[in-house]
Chain A
Amino acid sequence: MADFKDKCTIIGPTVAIRGKVKADEDLVIRGRIDASISSTKLVHVDKDGVVKANVEAESVLISGVVVGDITATARVELMGTARVVGDIASPLLVINDGARLRGKIDMPAVDKAMEERYVEQPKAAVQAKPAAVAAAPHALAAKPIEPAAKGKEPIKPADSAIPKPIMNELGTDKVGAPRVLGKAETPRKPGTIQPVVASGAADSARKPLPGVDPKAADKDRDRDLDIDAIVDSFGIEPEVEEIEMGGDDDMLSIYDVDGAQSQEPTQVGGGPLSAKKN
């Protein structure tokens, strides 16, 4: 029996589980799980693994398909083959090139950092406190509205004036108070994550912002159905390629932070070429 004492459970490719799974050990999933997973250790969804439920764990590593929300206390990593539909909440997130994701990303550390920034920069920013924990997205959404509600003061100039400094903060960090930046960034490790976060936050800000944008919402819903159906059809061997992320450029920007470098040259190269021809 010592044979079985491995501190790791591997759920093989022909195994399907429905219901609920709880684990205090590493879990490798190669099969199909329609069960909410809660683990105090690592959950690894392998290439052939399909999980259609929420995942809660210390850390989550995904190379396969996950349809459901992912909550990690330590770290989430999407490998290049990962296909994820669902929201991710984790203090640390790595999205590797090639991974596909549709969903919101929530990194508590970012919330805190954004909060601090708003608190320390009350002048240009809102007088009204940004909804405390809600942080960036809501704060962004709230700002243009708040002044408008308060009076008939110069609304439009305010609108255009306020977002700019924020964008700078997010993007270049030139305007933001350096002290705050330092605080915010020390706890996190790789620099690559920062941009992911920033664009992720910006992205989620973009969606709620329009407020009245039923088209986008409908699209999302449709895609939801599609992907569910596709994942259903995977059965045991997911043909991951079939998942369509629907050429959504906004989405791409989330994980193309790294890819942007490799893409830019091709585009830039394209310009001169066509110019020469002309």
Chain B
Amino acid sequence: MSAERTILGPTLEIEGEIEGSEDLVIQGKVNGRIVSKKSLTIDQTGDVNATVTTEGLAVSGKLNGNVEASDKVEIRREGTMIGDIKAPRVVIADGAKFKGRVEMGVD
């Protein structure tokens, strides 16, 4: 209950902006912008069409939009992502679908 995590359920549709300082799990639809200071997980049922700024991102569902992460972006086996990634660490699992650019800030 008090777990620092918000789960946006599968029937939830959000249009607009989400901002959070706790772990965020998206199982529904989001259109707009997501800003998270912690981790963001897009579950298998999740369908996100948004610009994402976060610490960590894990994609098991669909993500369409650019991502900027301060830590890590992971596209899991079931995940599909279209957009650019900017993050120091990027993991793309076997089976994941991805189209876009990756920038890992190699200085």
B13 at the A/B interface (Cβ < 8 Å)?
yes
Q: Which of B20-28, B84-92, B97-105 contacts A (4 or more CB under 8 A)?
A: B20-28
B4-40 vs A: 1/0 string, CB under 8 Å?
Answer: 1111111111111111111011011000100000000
**In the complex, B70 has a CB within 8 A of chain A:** no
Contact (Cβ within 8 A) A25 B12: yes
Tell whether, in the assembled complex, residue B7 and residue A4 are in contact, meaning their CB atoms are under 8 Å apart. yes
Residues B20 and A16 in contact, CB atoms below 8 Å apart: yes
CB distance from A174 to the nearest CB of B (A): 50
In the complex, A9 Cα to B20 Cα: how many Å?
15
Interface residues of B (CB under 8 A from A): 1, 4-22, 24-25, 27-28, 32, 43-44, 60
With known contacts A4-B43, A16-B19, A17-B19, A35–B7 Cβ distance under 8 A: no
By beta carbon, the residue of chain B nearest A15 is B20
Q: Count contacts on A: residues with CB < 8 A to the other chain.
A: 25
Q: Which residues of A contact B24 (CB under 8 A)?
A: 15
Evaluate contact between A17 and B14: CB separation under 8 angstroms.
yes
Q: Which of A21-52 contact B (CB under 8 A)?
A: 21-25, 27, 31, 35
* Inter-chain contact B9/A19, CB cutoff 8 Å: no
Known A-B contacts: A17-B17, A21-B15. Give 15 more (CB < 8 A): A1-B43, A1-B44, A1-B60, A10-B7, A12-B6, A15-B6, A15-B18, A15-B21, A16-B20, A18-B18, A18-B19, A21-B12, A22-B13, A31-B6, A35-B15
Chain B residues closer than 8 Å to A8, beta-carbon distance: 9
> Do A23 and B11 touch across chains, with their CB atoms under 8 A apart?
yes
Residue A127 CB within 8 A of the other chain: no
Sorted nearest first, the 8 A-B pairs with minimum C-beta distance are A19-B16, A24-B11, A14-B21, A9-B9, A12-B6, A15-B20, A22-B13, A20-B15
Asked if B17 and A9 make an inter-chain contact with CB atoms under 8 angstroms apart, the answer reads no
CA distance A231 to B2 in the complex (A): 24
Interface core residue of B14, B22, B60 (most chain A CB under 10 Å): B14
B1 cross-chain contacts in A, Cβ below 8 A = 10
Verify if A7 is at the interface (C-beta below 8 Å from B): yes
A-B contact pairs, 18 of them (CB 8 A): A1-B44, A4-B7, A6-B9, A9-B9, A10-B1, A10-B7, A11-B6, A11-B8, A16-B18, A17-B17, A19-B32, A20-B15, A21-B12, A22-B12, A23-B12, A25-B11, A27-B12, A31-B6
Whether B7 and A14, one on each chain, are in contact in the complex, defined by CB atoms closer than 8 angstroms, is no
Q: A4-B7, A9-B12, A23-B12 are in contact. Are A14 and B22 (CB under 8 A)?
A: yes
8 Å CB contact of A17 from B16, B25, B27: B16
Q: Which residues of A contact B21 (CB under 8 A)?
A: 14-15
For A20, list chain B residues within 8 Å (CB). 13-16
A10 to B19, CA, bound (A): 14
Write the chain B residue with the least CB distance to A20.
B15
A15–B19 CB distance below 8 A:
yes
User: Using Cβ atoms and an 8 Å threshold, which residues of chain B touch A7?
Assistant: 9
Q: Which residue of A lies closest to B13 (CB)?
A: A22
State whether A25 and B9 are in contact (beta carbons under 8 Å apart), knowing that A4-B43, A12-B22 are contacts in the complex: yes
Residues of chain A lying within 8 A (CB to CB) of residue B60: 1
In the assembly, what is the distance between CA of A214 and CA of B40, in Å? 51
Q: Which residue of A lies closest to B27 (CB)?
A: A4
